[in-house]
Amino acid sequence: MPVALLSVYNKEGITYFAKELHELGWEIIASGGTARELKKADIPVKDVAEIVGGGAILGHRVVTLSREIHAGLLAKDTKEDRQELKHLGIPWIDLVCVDLYPLQEEIQKPDATRESVTEKTDIGGPTMIRSAAKGRRIVICDPYDRELVIDWLKAGRPDEDNFIAGLVAKAEAIVADYCLTSARYHSNGAYDGIIGEQILQCLYGENAWQAPAALYSRKIFQVDLVDSLSLENFHLVAGTSLSYNNLCDVDRLLQTITHISAAFAVNRGKTPLIAVGCKHGNPCGAAVGKDHITVIQKMIKGDTRAILGGLVMVNFPINEAAAEELLTYLMPKGERRLLDGIIAPSFKEEAITMLRRKGDKCRFLVNPALELLSIDSALRFRYVRGGFLRQPNYTFVLNLKAPEVTKIGQLTPDQEDNLLLSWAIGSTSNSNTITLVKDGYLIGNGVGQQDRVSGCVLAVRRARDANHETPGAFVYSDSFFPFTDGPEVLAQAGVRVIFASSGSVRDLEVHEFCQKKDMVLYLIPDRVGRGFFGH
C-alpha cells in the first residue's frame, strides 16, 4: 500500500485530497493539525507522532524533522534500503503534500517583528519538500497540483519520470524562493534575486541569433500578490505566437496606458477611453476621449508612418467598427494597415476576422483587466554585467493640484488634460524625452536623445513629418531645461505651454525666456517629478 505524508498550514481542500487518496488505496500519515482535520472528516489517518516516537516539541517548531521521516523519503528503491527501512519499522513514503508557513504575508504586516517573522519561517516544510525532491517522490507544494496528481494516479501514472521531474523542479523552485524571501528580509535587501516559471517559449530574443528566449512568470511564487495585468494573464486568442519584442512592447504599453489612466483618475476622477500605439518600445500614437472611434482615429493620426507594424493597446472592446478604423483610417483606398498586434479587454469574432493578416502575423491579446487599469508597483530588475540593478517601479502620478506644482500662467481644465496626456506619454518613453500633444492626442515624441535640445528638435520634426501643425501644442519635458536653446526651438514651433521640472542652475534665465515668449509654464521640482524612463 503506498504511503502519503500530508502536512499543511492551510487546511482548505486537504480533506478532499486525502479522501481521494484513501479511495485509491493509499495509507495516510499526517502531522498533528492536519491529522486532526482528517479525523474530523472520518478519513483514516496515522499521526506522524506514531512514527517518530513522540509529539511536537519546542513549541511545535520540531515535528517532522526526524530521521524516520527523512529516511522514508530519502531511501533509494533498492533491496538494501527497503530491507533497512523494514528492519527499523520506518515506512517508505511515496508522496508528500506540504505547504509552507505564510512568511511573505507575515513580513508585509505593518506590525511584523523579527520574532513574528521568525515564528512564521517554516523549517520542517522546506526540509520535507527537499528530501522528497531528492528522493524522487511525488512532491506537492502548490495546492493547484493536488487535483493534477489525483488525475495522474487515476490515469495509471503515464510518463512517470517526466511527471515527477516536473513536480521536483517546481518544489525546489518554491523552496528557493521561500529562502530568498527570508534572506531578503533579514538582510534588509542586501541579498536579493528573482525566480520565475517559464510560461512561454519565444522563437528567439531581440534578434534571430539570440536564442533561446522565454517569458517567465512570478505568479506561483507571489501568492500574496494578484496582478491581473501580469503578462501571463494576457491570452492569445488568435494570431501567431508572441515574440520577445512583442512581449517587451506589451510591457511598455502597460506602463503608458496605466499612467494615462492614473493621471486622469487623480486629476479628473475618472479614466477616459484610451488607445496607445507602440513601436520599438515607445508610444508613436496615443489618444484619450469619450468615443472609441475618435480615440482610435486620433491615435492613428499621431504618426501614420510609425504605427505600421506596431502594437496597439486599448481599454475598451474592439468591435467591427473599431476594427475598420484600425485597418483603413487614413490609408490609401484599397489598402489595409498592417499591425503586429492588438491588445484589448475583448474582441468581437467578426473584428478578429477583419483584422487577421496573411500568415496570422497579427496577434490578438485579450485581458478583461484592461478596463480596470492599475499601475504596477512591483520592484523593477535589470540585468547588468555580473549582476543586476533593482529599483522601485514607476509609480509617481502627476497631480496638478499638488503644492509642489508651480504654475506660471493658467490653463483651463480641458487644456490641462493635454498636459496630463503628454506627461503620461513622455514619462513612459525612453529618456531624454520631449513630448508634444494637441487636441487630446500625441503628435510628436522625441525620445532617447542625449541632449534636451535635440529632443525638442526631434519632437517638432516628427510632428511635422506626420503633417501636424505644432502651434498650440502642449509640451512635456521629462526633466528641466539646462539652457534656453530647447525652449527656443519650441517657441519657434509655436508652442505656448510647457510642463517640465525645475532644478537647473539656470532656471531663472530659462523661465524668464519662456515668459518673454508668452509661454505658460507648469513646473515640478526635479527631485519630485523627474520623468526619466528606460534609461
Same domain, 262 and 349: yes
Q: Give 57's DSSP letter.
A: B
Same domain, 133 and 277: no
What pLDDT is stored for residue 67 in this prediction? Answer: 86
Cα dihedral value 56, 62, 68, 70, nearest 10: 140
Residues 49-82 pLDDT 10s? 888 766 666 666 666 678 889 999 999 999 999 9
Which CATH number belongs to the domain containing residue 90 in this structure?
3.40.50.1380
Which CATH number belongs to the domain containing residue 340 in this structure?
3.40.140.20
66 assigned to some structural domain: yes
380 assigned to some structural domain: no
Residue of 377, 374, 378 lying closest to 194 (CA atoms) = 378
Same domain, 344 and 434: no
Same domain, 71 and 154: yes
Predicted TM-score (pTM) of the model is: 0.93
Neighbours of 117 (CB within 10 A): 18
- Percentage of residues of the chain with pLDDT beyond 70: 97
The last residue of a domain, from among 332, 356, 371: 371
What pLDDT is stored for residue 78 in this prediction? Answer: 94
What pLDDT is stored for residue 360 in this prediction? Answer: 93
What pLDDT is stored for residue 59 in this prediction? Answer: 64
What pLDDT is stored for residue 50 in this prediction? Answer: 82
Same domain, 40 and 156: yes
What pLDDT is stored for residue 176 in this prediction? Answer: 97
Phi first, then psi, for residue 89 (nearest 5°) are 75, 30
Domain that holds residue 359: 237-371
Question: Residue 267 belongs to what H/E stretch?
Answer: helix 244-268
Please determine, for residue 48, whether its predicted confidence score (pLDDT) is greater than 90.
no
Same domain, 359 and 412: no
Same domain, 337 and 248: yes
The last residue of a domain, from among 159, 186, 213: 186
- Helical H runs in 41-113? 49-52, 67-74, 79-88, 103-107
Average pLDDT over residues 176-186: 96
Same domain, 167 and 271: no
The last residue of a domain, from among 325, 355, 371: 371
Q: What is the largest CA-CA distance in the chain?
A: 96
214 assigned to some structural domain: no
384 assigned to some structural domain: no
Neighbours of 439 (CB within 10 A): 15
**Residues in contact with 306: Cβ distance below 8 Å, sequence separation at least 6, in sequence order:** 277, 279, 284, 285, 466
Question: Residue 463 belongs to what H/E stretch?
Answer: helix 452-465
Please determine, for residue 344, whether its predicted confidence score (pLDDT) is greater than 70.
yes
What pLDDT is stored for residue 107 in this prediction? Answer: 94
Question: pLDDT averaged over the chain?
Answer: 95
Residues 378-396 pLDDT 10s? 999 999 999 999 999 999 9
What pLDDT is stored for residue 226 in this prediction? Answer: 79
**Residues in contact with 67: Cβ distance below 8 Å, sequence separation at least 6, in sequence order:** none
Please determine, for residue 224, whether its predicted confidence score (pLDDT) is greater than 60.
no
pLDDT classification of 527: cutoffs 50, 70, 90: very high
Spatial contact of 258 and 376, defined as CB atoms under 8 Å apart: yes
Same domain, 262 and 136: no
Separation between Cα atoms, residue 333 and residue 351, nearest integer Å: 20
460 assigned to some structural domain: yes
Structural domain count, the chain: 3
| β 363-366/235-238 pair status | antiparallel
Same domain, 359 and 416: no
| β 197-202/138-140 pair status | unpaired
115 assigned to some structural domain: yes
Please determine, for residue 469, whether its predicted confidence score (pLDDT) is greater than 70.
yes
226 assigned to some structural domain: no
Cis peptide bond prior to 432, omega within 30° of 0: yes
What pLDDT is stored for residue 249 in this prediction? Answer: 98
**Higher-pLDDT residue of 221, 233:** 233
Average pLDDT over residues 306-335: 97
b vs e for 337-354, b when ≥16 Cβ sit within 10 Å of the residue's Cβ?
Answer: bebbbbbbbebeeebbeb
Average pLDDT over residues 2-7: 96
**Higher-pLDDT residue of 194, 52:** 194
Question: Per mean pLDDT, which range of 85-99, 223-237, 307-321, 493-507 is the poorest?
Answer: 223-237
Same domain, 180 and 292: no
Residue of 36, 75, 68, 38 lying closest to 53 (CA atoms) = 68
Same domain, 517 and 412: yes
Average pLDDT over residues 170-187: 96
205 assigned to some structural domain: no
